[in-house]
Amino acid sequence: MELEWADDLDDRRTAAVRALLTKARGVDGKPEIEPDGPLPGEFSGGRYLLATAGDTLVGVAHVDVSGDAFGRRVAELVVDPDHRRSGHGGALVEALLAEYPDNLRVWAHGDQSGAARLAERFGLTRARELLIMQVDVDDADWPEPTPPDGVSLRTFRPGTDEQAVIDVNARAFDWHPEQGALTVDELTATESEPWFDADGFFLAEKAGRVIGFHWTKVHPPNPAKFGGDAVGEVYVVGVDPEAQGGGLGRALTLAGLRHLRERGLGQVILYVEGDNAPAVAVYRRLGFTPYEIDVQYATPDTP
């Protein structure tokens, strides 16, 4: 096996990475990619570490060198399902750490035992848990949302509401390593994605000012996840810190959940930080239960 760093991918290598990720999605359910589509965002830009055996790409690691909101590089690593348990994952991790010995986070989706063993072998610490929760829509009892006094709910207006959403998002997620850094340009670019639906993007407004939002998403059928059916997602719920504590987050969440149910979806998922006990408790009361855990393993942080 040979390892090679690449700052850019030509058409041939892009096709090889796309094919490997598509194959992994059929087994792991991730990443979100279509056979003829672009590479997913977590594998775009940055740097690539390619593992090849002869003419076959057997593994790839991607490093977001621009870093998260706290300046830590973030890596994704995937080995071809037909070439696993052959040492390729360990070789990729070893090369990653040789290049980036500190300020690095490496995602392990699904909290697999193999990833935990690699982390222990290379001295990585378990730094973050992202909990995926799930609810069967038919089993859920979601009443009409009741916003606080003086607050009204409406849907997103493309071309008008971007800055207001970004302003609330920045205040609501100033602690978050990814979400808090969302920009107007990134939000606008997302509006061209096939899954974007302004009717499923709910805003809370008081005295003409946006103070919260719930952005929903619908995932296409995935043969390795959720019985192969399309699923809805509580994608992002953000409430201005000055408006928190009055039930606005629950009202926004209910508005989105009822919208997803009206679209005929049988299941809804969400992602929440594993140590965010208040949020987990709210979602449990809405019928959600844990489904899976994604883990970030970390090298030491340095200034």
Q: Would you say 248 is a known binding-site residue?
A: yes
* Residue where the block lists tokens 């965010």: 276
**178 labelled binding-site residue:** yes
249 is in an annotated binding site: yes
Query: Which token pair is 194?
Result: 């096939």
Is 217 marked within a binding site?
Answer: yes
End-to-end CA separation in angstroms for the chain? 35
Mean pLDDT in the chain? 94
Residue 289 has pLDDT above 90, yes or no: yes
Q: Categorise residue 211: left if φ over 0, alpha if ψ from -120 to 50, beta otherwise.
A: alpha
246 assigned binding-site residue: yes
Whether 106 has a binding-site annotation, put simply, is no
Tokens of 224: 């390795």
41 marked ligand binding residue: no
168 is in an annotated binding site: no
Tokens 């003086």 belong to which residue? Answer: 150
Q: What is the pLDDT of residues 151-172, one digit of tens each?
A: 999 999 999 999 999 999 999 9
- The per-residue pLDDT for range 72-125, each reduced to its tens digit, is 999 999 999 999 999 999 999 999 999 999 999 999 999 889 999 999 999 999
Residue 191 annotated as binding?
Answer: no
Residue 271 pLDDT greater than 90, yes or no: yes
> Is position 120 annotated in a ligand binding site?
no
Which pLDDT band, with edges at 50, 70 and 90, does 181 fall under? confident
Whether residue 3 is annotated as binding a ligand: the answer is no
Phi, psi for 134 (deg, rounded to 5): -145, 150
- Please check if 286 is assigned to a binding site: no
Of the chain, the percentage scoring pLDDT greater than 90 comes to: 83
Q: Is 39 annotated as a binding residue?
A: no
pLDDT at 74: 96
List the one residue out of 292, 272, 291 whose CA is nearest residue 282. 272
Domains and CATH numbers, the chain: 2-123 (3.40.630.30), 134-293 (3.40.630.30)
112 is in an annotated binding site: no
Q: How many CB atoms lie within 10 A of CB 262?
A: 10
Question: Is 153 flagged in the annotation as binding?
Answer: no
pLDDT digits (tens, 9 = 90+) for 202-234: 999 999 999 999 999 999 888 778 788 899 999
